[in-house]
Structure 1
């Protein structure tokens, strides 16, 4: 696992949840060991080995730890989550094939300028040392191929998956708008807050809820969001750093979910969870978000404002039949495309492909 992950139910990141779910449903679950940092909680039912925070902060120590585990178990495959330098270093020092699982878009390195050319050559070598690369969306893979045509490692898309049996889309709904996400400027939370205040002033039977994570990272931004919502504090709830079961319950109770990301979302797990819970989703559609919703969300303009969000909210509030149809169709689409068993099986197939195609290097 990468640095600063939290592989446990109390405080997992989206990367932690993605990895946990993939392994839990994998045919290789019993043969997979997860290496991660110590945490206040750990997921149960998996083979997990932890290292202390002092190792998590030190790349060389993590690599040494991983190589020791791989050698002791004579593993067939190593999957490094997210961090290219670690994946490339492990690949160079191990005879075992290494796959890099990328959860974010990869920044391009220009081919102009001497230092940039050196950086680009080094990045190409790092990537080509890998046995394979997994991306979380077609948007990520397409952007990577356009920026890095020199990289020849096999590539696959493995989406985040969900066990939809754990998500209830048929329960009673409140007249509630919900926004779930990191309390960060690139997530568009303040614009959502401004829109909610505008809409609730003319819709007295509706309320709103903001469920925000990483609350300490951008404290000033969170303060601005809180101040924006203050005029309607009696009808707007703010909940910070909640566990997945709480987030799931909140989504299952709400009627409309806003996913107003301003950056290019690599995938958009928040939108997937909102669809699974049966919300009508308003989405910015950036990056992988369009893949998640597949035409079953109300899309915001490319350079949206709080006014644009308010307009979409008013339209859904004013048309209950449309709201329910969007929610129902979004859930059905996501259940077909992102069912965890099939998503995990697609990862397993790529692992098998790499193990067959890439011979182990001489030790």
Structure 2
């Protein structure tokens, strides 16, 4: 086991949860590969963090300042100073990564980007991205994110470390012929994710075939106390006269169980998905997918899904009808999806991550 001075410190975004009942995609990814000796830094939690991991909270008294000021990065800095890790890995916060890299130049710092760099504060301009790539090690979760970061006049190397899933934690596979007639939306219930497009498609479907059960799983945020936003209120009003159910936020294990039981998952994102974890989770469960042809999604799903245009409801509906009416197609997609998902298994991801760590921090040789 690595000693205290050779630890790896992973810094979560300020809003990210890290407990079984309150966690987003980044928290789940970090938890999946984290080792007991690692240091995980994040916000003060309202419930216990994941068992068996060393979680360090930024003082709760600083919470009101997180978004409006630099308080969170100062809290991170104090923990870096206290623990003196061999390597600091920061997720999705370029301003924090740059600050730590400049303040502690003797500690390697990596920045893992899960979103479109051109939409992130501190990365929108070429000059800002060039400064980042010269000061620290940049990681992208997909080729699409890498290309966005290096667009314009930016020069330098970006390492791709894709997202991943632990196959050992998945529910038992259910053959397509034995699945419930369920169609699901899974994710944040916001306009960018196309929850309203999902409703429009399923309302059209129910007019043709009312035998399907339709559910929206998720909320505005990744916790059970998520606010009832105007967007969600509008959806609820639309659904009053339909059989489409809004389930709300569910713990991750329950989400995976529902995905594994479903016949179809629809992912109608307007937002160019930087990766698309819901797609990977569905593919790993062998659940047929209909996804938007935006961002990184087409490359992530490969032959494991049908593609749709989120701006063309009629085209998207015809793709949905293909899935609904053709069980052979669903069975074929299920097989392709599982094969595609295996390219993103957690075991290979950990090997790639540790190889990258040793490359940027030779002191870790023999410790990983």
TM-score (normalised: structure 1) = 0.86
1:164 and 2:167 matched: yes
1:319 and 2:326 matched: yes
1:102-181 equivalence runs, <5 A: 102-107=113-118, 120-130=126-136, 132-150=137-155, 152=156, 154-167=157-170, 168-170=172-174, 172-181=178-187
Please report the RMSD computed on the Cα atoms of aligned residues, expressed in angstroms: 2.4
Which protein has greater RCO, CA pairs closer than 8 Å, 6+ apart? 1
Q: Which residue of 2 aligns with 1:26?
A: none
Instruction: Find the residue that maps to 2:231 and give its secondary structure.
Output: helix
- Deviation at 1:40? 2.4
Distance 2:23 2:46 in 1: 10
Distance 1:183 1:129 in 2: 37
Q: Which residue of 2 aligns with 1:82?
A: 92
Q: Which residue of 2 aligns with 1:279?
A: 287
1:153-302 equivalence runs, <5 A: 154-167=157-170, 168-170=172-174, 172-214=178-220, 216=226, 219-233=229-243, 236-301=244-309
Aligned residue pairs, count:
339
Q: Which residue of 1 aligns with 2:28?
A: 17
- Deviation at 1:352? 0.9
Instruction: Find the residue that maps to 2:52 and give its secondary structure.
Output: coil
Instruction: Find the residue that maps to 2:57 and give its secondary structure.
Output: strand
Does the CA contact (< 8 Å) of 1:85 and 1:126 recur in 2? no
Distance 1:257 1:346 in 2: 29
Distance 1:68 1:170 in 2: 49
Distance 2:353 2:198 in 1: 35
Instruction: Find the residue that maps to 2:293 and give its secondary structure.
Output: coil
- Deviation at 1:60? 4.0
Q: Which residue of 2 aligns with 1:361?
A: none
Q: Which residue of 2 aligns with 1:330?
A: 337
Does the CA contact (< 8 Å) of 1:161 and 1:344 recur in 2? no
User: Which residues of structure 2 form unaligned runs of 5+?
Assistant: 1-11
- Deviation at 1:238? 1.1
Residue by residue over 1:286-308, the C-alpha shift from the partner in whole angstroms, topping out at 9 and shown as x without a partner, is 11112221122110036332x33
User: Which residues of structure 1 form unaligned runs of 5+?
Assistant: 24-28, 110-115, 359-363
Q: Which residue of 2 aligns with 1:354?
A: 360
TM-score (normalised: structure 2) = 0.85
Distance 1:313 1:206 in 2: 12
**Gap change, CA 1:180 and 1:51, over 3 Å in 2:** same
- Deviation at 1:138? 0.8
- Deviation at 1:225? 2.0
Instruction: Find the residue that maps to 1:156 and give its secondary structure.
Output: strand
Residue by residue over 1:164-192, the C-alpha shift from the partner in whole angstroms, topping out at 9 and shown as x without a partner, is 12223226410111111211111111111
**The one of 53, 61, 80 aligned to 1:70:** 80
